[in-house]
Amino acid sequence: MDLTSLLAIAVALAMDAFAVSLAAGAVLCPVTYRHCFRLGFHFGLFQGLMPIIGWLAGTTVQQYIVAWSHWIAFGLLGFIGTRMIREAMADDREDRPSTDPSRGINLVLLSIATSIDALAVGLSLAMIGVTIWLPALVIGLVALGFSVAGVLLGNRIGSAWGVKMEVAGGLVLIGIGVKILLKHLVSN
């Protein structure tokens, strides 16, 4: 696989992580280096590991993973997006702790949801006989970079728009989930 194709794949896979990072950066106030590190590291790690898992699985489980991956991504993103919107709309905003998308189960769910497409790429690379190690590294590093940039950009936008950005961030997550679902349903 040539470097141009590999970079194109890596950037395409990183777009979901970038969009989710934008939404996360919008709700985090203020953004710290820890937020950037956690989101960038986890999104990059999952984006880098999923192609390896897909490649190792090869064609034996492909039909089962492909059949459900879009539903899993849709469910995870919809759940977290709805939760963000509900918390943004709550009347008792000062009394409740805000959800930090860069910590705990939210971070894990977002990392899985944004990297499921990378699993399918790994499966595809196994089918055409491409060694996975360099592509996985490039995909992970690109996702890391895009995620950090998304958090920082999202925070600049979020600090200017406040609660509206929390709602918008939740809607973006739900929209990404719907896009993934529709893409797979329409192509089948």
Per-residue pLDDT of 173-184, as tens digits, reads: 788 778 878 887
Integer Cα distance of 44 and 142 in angstroms: 7
User: In sequence order, which residues have a C-beta less than 8 Å from that of residue 127 and are 6 or more positions away?
Assistant: 58, 59
Read off the pTM: 0.73
Higher pLDDT, 132 or 169: 132
Mean pLDDT of the chain: 82
Confidence of residue 116 (pLDDT cuts 50, 70, 90): confident
Looking at residue 96, what is its pLDDT?
A: 46
Q: Provide the domain count of the chain.
A: 1
User: What is the phi/psi pair of residue 99, to 5°?
Assistant: -75, 130
User: What is the share, in percent, of the chain residues with pLDDT greater than 90?
Assistant: 23
Higher pLDDT, 103 or 100: 103
The secondary structure of 44-62, three-state, reads HHHHHHHHHHHHHHCCCCH
Per-residue pLDDT of 20-63, as tens digits, reads: 888 888 878 788 899 999 999 999 999 999 999 988 887 566 66
Instruction: Tell me which residue range forms the domain holding 131.
Output: 3-187
Looking at residue 66, what is its pLDDT?
A: 67
Cβ–Cβ < 8 Å for 91, 163: no
